[in-house]
Chain A
Amino acid sequence: MKKFLARNGPGYVFLLPWFLGFFLLALGPILASLYLSFTRYDMVGDPRWIGFDNYQYMFERDRRFWKALEVTFTYVFLSVPARLIMALGVAMLLDKGLRTIGVYRAIFYLPSLLGASIAIAILWRQLFAADGVVNQILAKFGIEGAAWISNPDTSLYTLVVLAMWQFGSPMLIFLAGLRGIPRDLYEAAEIDGTSKRRQFFRITLPLLAPVIFFNLVLQTIEAFKTFSSAFIISGGTGAPADSLLFYTVYLFNEAFKFFRMGYASALAWVLLIIIGFFTAVSFFTSKYWVHYENERD
């Protein structure tokens, strides 16, 4: 026992805050929400066990649940690739021999820091309003705009544009990754007369695969978690016509507006499984397309 403490003591002491946090704020709540997902719970009485009723209702009868999934998946599948392509393109432009790179890097990164704020969500609502700037600019070119936010067919795209605007943080990671590619590879390819296009597909992409993978997983998880901007832009409800009913917005409303805590817990678990599934798929398929140059311990 004494030996055990001498060996492990310091480690456990330093890890103590994390242990508390992990059990009280992560593992405990996850298990608790699994339990709650099988109950009806309105915070007034005690949770009442109802078996699989929540899940059954969710999958068989709750049309808003399916709508929320549709909205969220559309958003993820549009915004993540758009953002990553933007980020990689700009990173490649910045990577090669520009002395003023710092200024551009700063300008392109700034929206990533501001994008999650309420101020920007409020701003976005106005930019894409019927009488907003976007339509005024389009009018200059003789294009008639739309009421982007209040039209259910277009509202989601305003959020995709907002996501694209924030390509800065994957861009920084791509830049670091590009720095790590040895220059002589390109020089050798240049001497062999390899075209730029081929250099991109044969050198840049394969060597960048770990970074692309990292960004893809991170950004996908981030996109699933999107809340504040969707909440503010949709006025807190997912309007118009549920076209901005992000999964997180739906969950929030079920829990804290209607106090259906049991049902919201079931929604939370489905979200956890979806994100877990995507992460797992990325990891299991990664060995086929991600090659690590020099693995360290």
Chain B
Amino acid sequence: MKTNVIEKAVEPDVLEEMRHSAEIAHELRLRQQQRSRRARIYKHIFLIGMSVMMLYPLFWLFASSLKPENEIFNTLSLWPSEFNWDNYTKGWEALPISFTVFYANSAIVTVLSVIGNLLSCSFAAYAFARLQFSGKNLFFALMMMTLMIPYHVVLIPQYVLFLNLGWVDTYLPLVVPRFLASEAFFIFLMVQFFRQIPRELDEAAMIDGCSPFKIYWAIILPLSLPAMGTAAIFSLIWVWEDFLAPLIYLNDIKSYTVPLALRLFLDQEGQSVYGQMFAMSMLSLVPVIIFFVAFQKLIVRGIATSGMK
């Protein structure tokens, strides 16, 4: 319809020219699309190659954990000639104490630490993000400064303190600090998130006579589940992998966490337990990988929720 109107309105040779330039434009667009498609294919090839490189060490670890001892260092092939699952069963019992104990120990420390981190850090974050009190800016600055303090600087006095309290060789030095909001990173993360929650919600609740604790519990926390989830996953993984603190505070092999137990394999190096060592190493990564997959979903959901407003 429209073209008819235009055709009537303009001279034929002008029309011809317009058609011609439209064709050129179309051609150009096609070419550009083609080029960008090709660029995208190159990009995918590059990214896939890079992914393989990034994952190769993990594949190698997994493959080696299944290989017979003499094959680990002699062949580049990732595929074992036979699947030696007993590296896992033997490795589980290879140390004087069974890995059942080490996993139980790690689980206790991790669960308690995550609970501690979430509670104490969300408390502090709520105060910094929502409540008024004198000295707030100063305390916030101090809190941010603790982010850069290396654990090594406070290590020795903390050790002396915990030794005098009789806490060495218990899990208290690993767990109690997490109930005291010692991980400033999580406070910072939660403060950032809490600040995005509309203030009108707390103000309305306050007018209705809600106490600050009620507001924290009934409004801020339920609306911060993505941030809490993120903090929980990070703290879970970090505590699970934590090495230095257990190394210092746990001397009795019965109380060892998984990373300390893995280190014991290194002392037996050369006694052909590589397969078992790799099997137990691989196994220790499995919880992290599982939680990483869950964490991915959580992040995507978190982004989707916040993107809706």
Contact = CB atoms under 8 A, between A and B. Distances in A.
A120 to B, nearest CB: 8
A102 B54 CA distance: 15
A231 B281 CA distance: 17
A102 to B, nearest CB: 7
Interface stretch (B4-12, B13-21, B85-93, B123-131): B123-131
Q: Which of A36, A123, A131, A269 has the most CB of B within 10 A?
A: A123
Contacts of B300: 102
B241 A118 contact: yes
B266 A272 contact: no
A26 B142 CA distance: 10
Contacts of A81: none
Given A110-B292, A118-B284, A122-B277, A275 B179 contact: no
Contacts, number: 231
Contacts of A235: 266
B146 interface: yes
Interface size class of A (residues with CB under 8 A): 35 or more
A204 to B, nearest CB: 17
A255 B153 CA distance: 11
A33 B120 contact: no
Interface string A105-148: 01111110110111110111111010111001100100000000
Given A11-B127, A106-B296, A118-B259, A18 B266 contact: no
Given A33-B157, A255-B159, 17 more contacts: A18-B180, A21-B180, A22-B143, A24-B180, A25-B182, A26-B146, A26-B154, A93-B43, A117-B288, A119-B259, A221-B148, A225-B152, A232-B266, A248-B152, A261-B156, A261-B160, A271-B153
Interface of B: 40, 43-44, 46-47, 50-51, 54-55, 57-58, 60-61, 64, 73, 76, 119-120, 123-124, 126-128, 131-134, 136, 139, 142-143, 146-161, 163, 177, 179-182, 187, 211-213, 216, 237-238, 241, 243-244, 248, 259, 262-263, 265-266, 274, 277-278, 281-282, 284-285, 288-289, 292, 296, 300
29 contacts: A7-B133, A10-B211, A10-B212, A10-B213, A15-B133, A17-B120, A18-B180, A18-B181, A22-B146, A25-B158, A26-B154, A28-B157, A29-B153, A30-B157, A33-B154, A36-B157, A43-B160, A98-B44, A102-B296, A107-B51, A109-B292, A116-B238, A119-B284, A120-B281, A127-B60, A225-B150, A268-B150, A268-B152, A268-B155
Interface of A: 7-8, 10-12, 14-18, 20-22, 24-30, 32-33, 36, 43, 90, 93-94, 97-98, 100, 102, 104, 106-111, 113-114, 116-120, 122-127, 129, 131-133, 136-137, 140, 165, 221, 224-225, 227-228, 231-232, 235, 248, 251-252, 255-256, 261, 264-265, 268-269, 271-272, 275-276, 279
